[in-house]
Structure 1
């Protein structure tokens, strides 16, 4: 029995020793993990970017501000609430943001996002065109089915009346042949002249006349290239597809949509025209940047000359309440919103999906999602 007791005691001692070793290991591991933190992460990131980290200071986070680690008095490393690096700046220059380190990566990100927006816009236009075709074809097939299933068949009651032919009078003169439309001249890019819009919304039309269809507008300060001038009108681009479906152009937003030469559409193509009265030879002078908005590049906004103060006030409010980041406005300034109306401008914060879109009412200052 003595041997058994000694064996049990040895086993108990081994278990106690094992627990002690595990406890010491956990303590050492915790100490090792505790070595790393926001300051060390910022230091590693700055050394990766090639900057000195010799001088250091810490600024504690406030209610609305992020924790900040300052290196060499000019480099700020911001820490988000989850302890991760949010962004790094050197003065007004962004060195890191959203996990993209260095100016090259940030520039490449902007390039990729710009390409994505262009592809998204082209895909949406193609979708609209295809959707209209599908709708027209569906209506045609349904109408054919309705007629074929009708108990009245194809009798005269279901048809539009046909007028009797009119015999021409012997004394009637022969009608003059209709003049063929002149082809739209292909512009020479080298001959284009730069002009700038001076109207808050300068209407774009399919031909040089107020009777022609409206295809959108350009805002104050926007640059255009004029390829041709005619009777107080300026042609601002090359001929391109009018997307004609059943005789009407899918590119016309309002007014005359007929795919006819009288509407400036020849062989399914048209060029855009604007009134020359609202084009200036020199770029209009922009107002001074409002205080606090110097690094937001809001001067890229539509109608910035007219609404610079409203754009700045709204942007600062959205940055201060955490809705947007400064980089959001540098990437996507305020743009006019044809869909919402003349008083509305929009921007994107945190992405370019519909859920990231915010609207500003320029008259009331109201910001809505």
Structure 2
């Protein structure tokens, strides 16, 4: 008797952005977004969809909802993301930055580092469309908010030195 093969449950997101829906239906409300290379754990497969969260009932007697993603948007191994693809992806998050072309390299590197370190998430950059020039400093300093729009969430970048600091 052949040994039972455990069904695969861990996958990786293939498209640049993937909407997470509240039910297994392409017209369902998008709750959140996953990004290329994100790892997901599938709890249940149904009709070409994968459930990635427990079921929730928000109102007593209301419907059960969960987070669902289409299985055809997933890979069994992490996608190979070339340096050029990564630059293009990071660029799309911060292309609305003040003086974007002038400070392209330092904006891309710093944004990538902040995301890889888990300090910022891609939506943090979408809020302000990138780095905003600070009028508070004499030097070339830019800022972004990560994790909320409070002073405590403000991250500064001196583009001359490449140093990140918090005020």
TM class by shorter chain equals 0.5 to 0.7
Residues in 1 aligned to 2:130 and 2:10: alpha-carbon distance in whole angstroms: 26
Count of residues paired in the alignment = 128
Residue 328 of structure 1 and its aligned partner are, at CA, apart by: 5.8
- 2:13 matches 1:197: yes
Change (3 A) 1:317 1:204: closer
2:124–2:147: 8 Å Cα contact kept in structure 1?
A: no
Select which of 25, 28, 31 maps to 1:215.
31
Mark the structure with the bigger radius of gyration.
Answer: 1
Map of 2:89 onto structure 1: 307
5+ long unaligned stretches in structure 1: 1-189, 248-258, 291-302, 359-369
Residue ranges of structure 2 left out of the alignment (5+ in a row): 1-5, 95-102, 132-142, 157-167
TM-score normalized with structure 1 length: 0.27
Q: How far is the alpha carbon of 1:278 from its aligned partner?
A: 0.6
- Counterpart secondary structure, 2:106: helix
Matched, 1:316 2:106: yes
1:332 equivalent in structure 2: 119
Over aligned residue pairs, what C-alpha RMSD do you find?
Answer: 4.4
Matches within 5 A, 1:1-12: none
How far apart in 2 are the matches of 1:211 and 1:351?
30
Q: Cα deviations across residues 34-76 of structure 1 (Å, max 9, x unaligned)?
A: xxxxxxxxxxxxxxxxxxxxxxxxxxxxxxxxxxxxxxxxxxx
Q: Which secondary structure does the structure 1 equivalent of 2:81 belong to?
A: coil
Q: Distance in 1 between matches of 2:118 and 2:87?
A: 19
SS in 2 for 1:284: coil
Maintained 8 Å contact 1:192/1:225: no
Between 1 and 2, higher relative CO (CA 8 Å, sep ≥ 6) is seen in 2
Q: Higher helix fraction: Structure 1 or Structure 2?
A: 1
